[in-house]
Amino acid sequence: MPPPVSPPAVPPPLPPDVESLETLSPLAWAGRGARHAISVPGVVLFAGYVGLGGLLHGVGFPFFAGMLSTLLIWALPAQVILAGGIGAGTALPALA
């Protein structure tokens, strides 16, 4: 049976950017958020919504209705099904 491990006497120091988190301005927080949003998932989402915008424009879906569908549906595949169904002339109850 191994001997019990005792906790360290002194906690490890925090990384440099963690120590200054309390002093950041709202603009600095926005900059950090924008920097972290530029990642592979962020780029994939951006490209997906650009593609959805092209599809909605191609089927004649109004701009603000497309924005409303993004706010209400929150699932890009479901929005593509909706836009494709509207473009094909499918009845809305069948799309739901």
pLDDT in tens, 44-83: 999 999 999 999 999 998 999 999 988 998 899 999 998 8
Average pLDDT over residues 1-25: 69
- DSSP per-residue string spanning 1-26: -PPPPPPPSSPPPPPHHHHTGGG--H
Question: CA 75, CA 42: separation in Å to the nearest integer?
Answer: 15
pTM above 0.75, yes or no: no
